[in-house]
Amino acid sequence: MSDSGTPKSATKSRIVFLGTGTSEGVPRVSCLTNPENDCPVCPDAIKPGSPNRRRNTSLLIQRQLDSGRISNIVIDAGKFFYESAMQWFPKYDVHTIDGLVITHAHADAVGGFDDLRDWTNNSQESLPIYLREQDLDSVESLFYYLVDRTKQTGGGGVAKLIFETIDAVPFAVDGLELKALPVEHGRNQEVFGYRFGPVSYVSDASAFSDETAELISGSELLVLDALRPARTHGTHFTLEEAIWQARRLGVTRTLLTDATHDIDHEPVNAELAKLRDSEGLDIQYAHDGLAIDIAL
Ligand SMILES: [Zn+2]
Ligand SMILES: [Zn+2]
């Protein structure tokens, strides 16, 4: 496992963080427009290359298959998906989306579905989307014309999406096996994280069971929700809760995601690095565009 950060590395598979921010994204526009506001993070986030610029939490899984073809699987396409794709797809040579896997149907995970038309109009025939039955119902109420294409009225051509419903049974996406990690995202709201190979991805969670902990155990890399420090939220882990989970699960490395503007990337990561020295806990916030080479 290594941080590549370069578009064309020798390793045949990697993950790329397409977004590491919570629903509202960072910066908050109101932090930029309110003269009384003293938020240090949002003004930094608009500087080119700032690690504080965060779009909705999303991940690219990229593998070079034996045939030589590059397979691109995306987890979640939320409100800022278009912007994430515009910034990172050219850099990482992403020409097709060979599978889109959904964690749950909140706007920061499915709000970008309309923009998928670019791929099915111009790069590929259709696009398979893997999601739970209840999430498909929510998507249908948000985007009725994408689920029933006979209802479209515009002339631009809507995305040709193939919806595949999933449950807790492991399933394959373009040859990669994914196992659902059922987690709580608020009281009595179950959503999915996913385990694939040595990676566990849990972007939206406030609690999970011992059974799910067992599915995560042995991961080389855990990507985990850590909204902000201190103030509990109800539907997301705080930073302190995420650290506690990383200790409990004993994974090799943890990268945190789904952060608000309360997280100032570099100083917070410098603090977290002290845990590596004091107790051998490797835990850091990811940032948009971070690429990790890992065998899948
Ligand atoms: Zn702010
Ligand atoms: Zn959510």
pLDDT confidence of residue 72: 98
Q: From ligand 2's centre to the CA of 141, what distance in Å?
A: 17
**Token digits for 160?**
């040709």
Count of Cβ atoms closer than 10 Å to residue 214 Cβ: 10
Distance 84 CA to ligand 2 centre (A): 18
The whole-angstrom separation of Cα 289 and Cα 85 is 10
Centre of ligand 1 from the C-alpha of residue 262, in Å: 7
Q: How far is the CA of 153 from the centre of ligand 2 (A)?
A: 30
Ligand (nearest to CA of 40) = 1
CA of 28 to the centre of ligand 1 (A): 5
pLDDT (mean) for 144-152:
87
8 A C-beta contact, residue 294 and residue 200: no
Separation CA 26–CA 252 (nearest Å): 28
Maximum Cα–Cα distance across the chain: 61
Q: Is the pLDDT of residue 264 over 60?
A: yes
The Å distance, Cα 57 to ligand 2 centre, comes to 10
What are the pLDDT digits (tens) for 204-258?
999 999 999 999 999 999 999 999 888 777 899 999 999 999 999 989 999 999 9
- CATH 3.60.15.10 assigned to domain 2-293? The reply is yes
How far apart are the C-alpha atoms of 109 and 77, rounded to whole Å?
5
Q: Which pLDDT belongs to residue 159? A: 85
Distance (angstroms) between ligand 1 centre and the Cα of 219 equals 33
For 163-174, give one letter per residue: b (16+ CB within 10 A) or e.
beebeeeebebb
Distance 111 CA to ligand 1 centre (A): 22
Is residue 65 exposed (0-12), middle (13-18) or buried (19+ Cβ within 10 Å)? middle
Question: What is the distance in A from the centroid of ligand 2 to the CA of 198?
Answer: 24
Ligand 1 centroid – CA 172 distance (Å): 40
Strand partners, 70: 64
Cα–ligand 1 centroid distance for 66 (angstroms): 45
- What's the pLDDT at 1? 72
> How many Å apart are CA 83 and CA 88, to the nearest integer?
9
Looking at the CA of 27, name the nearest ligand.
Answer: 1
The model's confidence at residue 9, banded by pLDDT at 50, 70 and 90, is: very low
258 Cα: distance to centroid of ligand 2 (angstroms): 10
Q: Name the residue ranges covered by the structural domains of the chain.
A: 2-293
Structural contact between residues 4 and 296, judged by C-beta atoms closer than 8 angstroms: no
Alpha helices in the chain (DSSP H): 29-33, 41-45, 81-88, 107-110, 117-122, 133-142, 144-147, 210-216, 239-249, 265-279
Give residue 188's Cα distance to chain centre.
22
Element (H, E) at 137: helix 133-142
Ligand minimally distant from the alpha carbon of residue 44: 1
Distance 110 CA to ligand 2 centre (A): 10
pLDDT, averaged across the chain: 93
Dump pLDDT digits (tens) for 150-186: 888 776 678 899 999 999 999 999 999 999 999 999 8
Task: Find the distance separating the first CA and the last CA of the chain, reported in whole Å.
Answer: 11
pLDDT-derived band at 5 (thresholds 50, 70, 90) equals low
Q: How far is the CA of 179 from the centre of ligand 1 (A)?
A: 36
CB-based contact 17:50 (threshold 8 Å): no
CA of 25, nearest ligand number: 1
Q: Which residue has the higher pLDDT, 9 or 219?
A: 219
Q: How far is the CA of 80 from the centre of ligand 1 (A)?
A: 18
Q: How far apart are the CA of 45 and the centre of ligand 1, in A?
A: 9
How large is the average pLDDT for residues 254-269?
97
Q: What is the tens place of the pLDDT at every residue in 228-238?
A: 888 777 899 99
Ligand nearest to the CA of 76: 2
185 CA from centroid of ligand 2 (Å): 7
Kindly report, residue by residue over 89-130, the tens digit of the pLDDT.
999 999 999 999 999 999 999 999 999 999 999 999 999 999
SS3 of the chain: helix, strand, coil, percent, to 5: 30, 30, 45
